[in-house]
Amino acid sequence: MSLVRTLVLLPMALIGIASSAASHADTNGEQWELVWSEEFEGTQLDRTKWKPEISCWGGGNNERQCYTDRSKNIRVEGGALRLIAYKEKFRGPDRPPEIAVKPNPDKTQSYTSGKIRTLGLSSWKYGKIEFRAKPPKGQGTWPAVWMMPAYNAYGSWPRSGEIDILEGVNLGASCPQCEGDVGENRMISALHFGDFAPKNKVRDTRVTLPSNALPSDDYHVWTLEWGEGLMRFYLDGRKYWELTEKDWESASPKAKGNPVAPFDQPFYIMANLAIGGKLSEDNNDKGVAANVAPAEFAIDWIRIYQCRDDREKGLACMKGVEGGK
């Protein structure tokens, strides 16, 4: 969900999880200790865990929504978080407080939606981040669960990094190169790093379900295992992507001599449903479908674990690495 999403400077792999030999069930689950969870029970968003973002700036991607704090756009209902996008003109503050200019002007957009963050409340360095979610389909939808640095220790984006666990772009829209005859059925995971734009870098991958079904048809579980110099991504228990410190970098002078930077700092988590934006509108059927809204991104739960015996590096709980089992 980052700025300048189209500046892909590193190659992208297309990987189907059916081809992965690694099973999430084998990754030392007994050593992962639950340290934070959100089950989305009751009827109200837990404000001790989440801050809704209120902004209309379009995320730096020319997205078309205003994020609001209305129950119309952010609901906890039926045991799930529901981020709901509507087609309606709305006027609100341009940018969220942490990047706002003064005075922060108002901006009008043609859609509303929801975005929640743990910014200023909770963040984690290394661990297992897991959630069960059902993304929406439709040309112009862009749901995401992703992580950003809590402190920008290496400088502003992307020098301090970005971790995109799930991005579902235009699911169900036309996709001649996709298998399964259901349209766009690929989901994106990505890391952003490097130097300030236009020298920023991204490494990303696309993943499909073994059946090539639409991920919007049902709930699925995404998992990120993150240790010092190592990240592993899973979908429904099967590993589809692995990255090491050789796959990323930071151009920050503060990162000199530190090969694991910038992904060695606490990151917070967020979830949102964007409408439009360059990545969405430039692909598949192009633009935003007239009937795309209302659209709903449902999240059943989000759970954060840390390695009980290795909080410092997180590697002891990751099978197949030195110190792991």
Nearest in space to 69 (alpha carbons), one of 87, 93, 88: 93
Given the residues 167, 225, 281, 296, select the one marked as catalytic.
167
Cα(22)–Cα(17) distance, rounded to whole angstroms?
Answer: 10
DSSP-derived secondary structure for 99-163: G--SS--EEEEEEEE-EEE-TTT--BSSEEEEEEEE---STTEEEEEEEEESS-TT-STTTT-EE
Q: Is-cis flag, bond preceding 198, omega within 30?
A: yes
Torsions phi, psi for 284 (to 5 deg): 55, -120
In three-state secondary structure terms, 222 is: strand
Cα(191)–Cα(9) distance, rounded to whole angstroms?
Answer: 12
Count of other CB atoms within 10 angstroms of residue 103? 8
Given the residues 38, 63, 130, 162, select the one marked as catalytic.
162
Q: Tokens in use for 253?
A: 């002078």
> Is 167 designated active site?
yes
Residues 118 and 302 sit within 8 Å (Cβ to Cβ)? no
> Is 322 designated active site?
no
Q: Is-cis flag, bond preceding 103, omega within 30?
A: yes
Cα(297)–Cα(133) distance, rounded to whole angstroms?
Answer: 8
Provide the annotated active-site residues.
Answer: 162, 167
